[in-house]
Amino acid sequence: MIYFDNSATTKPDPEVLETFLKVNQYYYANPSSIHSFGGKVEKLLQQARAQFSKLLNVKENEIFFTSGGTESNNTAIKGTAFHHQKRGKHIITTSIEHPSIIESCEQLKDFGFEITYLNVDEKGVLNINELEKSIREDTILVSIMQVNNEVGSIQPINQIGQLLKNYPKILFHVDHVQGYGKVDLDLNNDGIDLCTISAHKIHGLKGTGLLYIREGIQLSPLITGGEQERKLRSGTENTSGIVAFAKALRLEKERSIKGILQIKEILKLLRDELSSIEEISIHTPQKYAAPHILNFSVKHYKGEVIVHALEEMDIYVSTTSACSSKKNIPSRTLLAMGRTEEMANSSIRVSLAFENTMEEAIIFIQSLKKVISNLEKVMRRSV
């Protein structure tokens, strides 16, 4: 099997799985219980939080555990909106964000909030000047995805953060789900107030994520009913998932230098080979793009047709993001980048992990060429 759908989810690392099982087996008490067994589990949770603090170079009290990227994004958007609505009801984001951002913003419209969706250029990158022009007296939040999950374009996070330092009343949220381990982000020097990371994108387990909240910032909780996570996120902590997440974060960081070099070489081969195929248009920009995502279209064929044809060869890729792929609608990101609706309907996303190999890439190209050739034969017979 060749698995090139790592932006949707990654294969759990064996060490991560081992940690998860061990914690479930030996540290299964509720960390909120007052007995000594619960105390041991609470201590384990504190140790995991300390590890996150060290790896991300932030304070321990700035780490809040959630069920994943979607919950973290919802908490950042709605938590900011509801807590700071007396100061203003205007939010700025882009037209190519993850659905958990877009739909949270759309929901807030029902509560009287106004949303500005910034356009992007043909490379999928926003214009800093347009962002500054969009800022109003009542703007309370700017939320920008660092690495786009469909095409891999990288937003100028540092420039945005420096700009927003001139507007201290505006909070800056960054969706770092696709970036961790692949694209650097400095939570201290990039002016970031809120940041989302998800475990299952870095070989951790589904159902675990975190939201970094800079010390001193207040948000309204979305889930109430307990004292957990300093009252921001009630509910018994997923201790085993959190400890396993810490292990995944550490392993991803340790492997990133060598791993990035490897996937850059693989991506270059893929780009070079795909560029030589007449029927293919590549949408991922050559510059300002993450090293693990490549998005392209095959002329005349919907993306799902190619996906299923490759699946029969035991090769797994995707069309849009996993959260949107079953909706069977054109890629919103590609339309925003000025691509035609035909291209947006025919897009394919290849997304790599450090464990992928050059041999897999070569087999993928050979298989894709065979798929296109077979489809063309079918088309000619039907004419």
Which of helix, strand or coil describes residue 323? coil
Which residues touch 47 (CB under 8 Å, ≥6 apart)? none
C-alpha 320/C-alpha 324 separation (Å) is 6
Q: Tell me if 346 sits within 8 A of 32, measured CB to CB.
A: no
Residue positions counted in the chain: 383
Structure tokens at 53: 């603090």
DSSP3 helix / strand / coil % (the chain, rounded to 5): 45, 15, 40
Structure tokens at 310: 């490759």
Helical ranges in the chain per DSSP H: 14-26, 36-56, 69-84, 99-109, 128-134, 157-164, 239-275, 303-311, 332-336, 341-345, 358-382
C-alpha 43/C-alpha 136 separation (Å) is 45
Q: How far apart, in Å, do the first and last CA atoms of the chain sit?
A: 35
C-alpha 350/C-alpha 366 separation (Å) is 15
The DSSP letter of residue 114 is E
**Phi, psi (degrees; rounded to nearest 5) at 282:** -95, 130
Q: Which of 217, 323, 365, 375 is catalytic?
A: 323
323 catalytic residue (yes or no): yes
C-alpha 57/C-alpha 303 separation (Å) is 40
- Give the torsion sign (CA, 242, 247, 253, 255): negative
**Catalytic (active-site) positions:** 323
